[in-house]
A = this chain, B = another copy of it.
Amino acid sequence: MAFTRERAVDGVVERLFELTVDGERVPAVIWAPEGAAGPRPLVLMGHGGSQHKKIGGLASRAKTYARRFGYATLAIDAPGHGDRIRREEALANMREVGARVTGQTSSAWTPERLQLMAERTRRAVPEWKAALDAVQTLDFVGPDGPVGYWGVSMGTAIGVPFVADEPRITCALFGLAGLRPNAPAFEAAARAITIPVEFVFQWEDAVASREHGLALFNAFGSAEKTMHINPGGHLDMPAFESASWERFFVRHLGVAAGAQALAAE
């Protein structure tokens, strides 16, 4: 496994690499503390629609997790996203998704959108598995450490089928998505998930109705599952939820050796 770029900033190293899965190039990134050696908890972060593997909030969380908990964080560009498309396409997608999540255009699941999403998920699941395989060969990750998943919106649309199919993942943060009627594959995946789940939901989300959000929460097969509902739209999630995610991951993944002082908080 060769890194195409390594860069250390403020005690965290960002390493870029690429995989080839089913003939497709999959750009990936892993963050870890500078000087990291030996196994540590790993978080996989799935970005949202029209975003990419190094989008601001995701990268910022990955760096915070590295500094505070000693975690490694892996992200990949989803099919049709990031470095897998041209810059003009990415910008057009950003405008289209932006208009949809803010309710300016319809979020109805047209047959075309459903087919696009199904195709993305079909590709993304083996890509995530290949990326996880690859980083577990790294000395500073290791094959046996606990693995968490984080992904909201499209990160949940892809994440639910992926997590349902990936026994290495031991806890998952989902959100900003719902379970529509007549989505039997997605529903079956949600029911097959039995690891601890935290599910964050916006009460006035143009993308997912209250009813569909509650239906997805109800479908998760986990004995430990918790749903956090906040007012506002798709982009209005309050900042205090990210503090809750930190506690969720520390509770279930622990912290890396050497970061124990922070775990006691």
Residues of chain A touching chain B, judged by Cβ–Cβ distance below 8 Å, are 217, 223-231, 238, 240, 243-244, 247, 251, 265
Interchain CB contact under 8 A, A240 and B247: yes
Interchain CB contact under 8 A, B240 and A251: yes
Say what secondary structure dominates the interface of chain A. Answer: mixed
Contact partners of A225 in chain B: CB under 8 A: 230-231
Interchain CB contact under 8 A, B231 and A223: yes
Interchain CB contact under 8 A, A228 and B227: yes
- Given contacts A238-B224, A240-B247, A243-B247, A229 and B229 within 8 Å (CB-CB): yes
Give complex CA distance A131, B244 in Å: 33
- Pick the residue among B226, B238, B247, B265 that contacts A230 (CB under 8 A): B226
Interchain CB contact under 8 A, B265 and A238: no
Taking each of A217, A224, A229, A265, which has the highest tally of chain B beta carbons within 10 Å of its own beta carbon?
A: A229
Q: Could you list 18 further interchain pairs (A-B, Cβ under 8 angstroms) beyond the known A226-B228, A226-B238, A227-B230?
A: A217-B229, A223-B231, A224-B231, A224-B238, A225-B230, A225-B231, A226-B229, A226-B230, A226-B240, A227-B227, A227-B229, A229-B229, A240-B247, A240-B251, A244-B244, A244-B247, A247-B247, A265-B265
Which residue on chain B has the smallest CB distance to residue A199? B229
Give, as a whole number of angstroms, the nearest-CB distance from A9 to chain B.
23
Give, as a whole number of angstroms, the nearest-CB distance from A57 to chain B.
19
What are 8 A-B pairs at a CB distance below 8 A? A224-B231, A224-B238, A225-B231, A226-B240, A227-B227, A240-B247, A240-B251, A244-B247
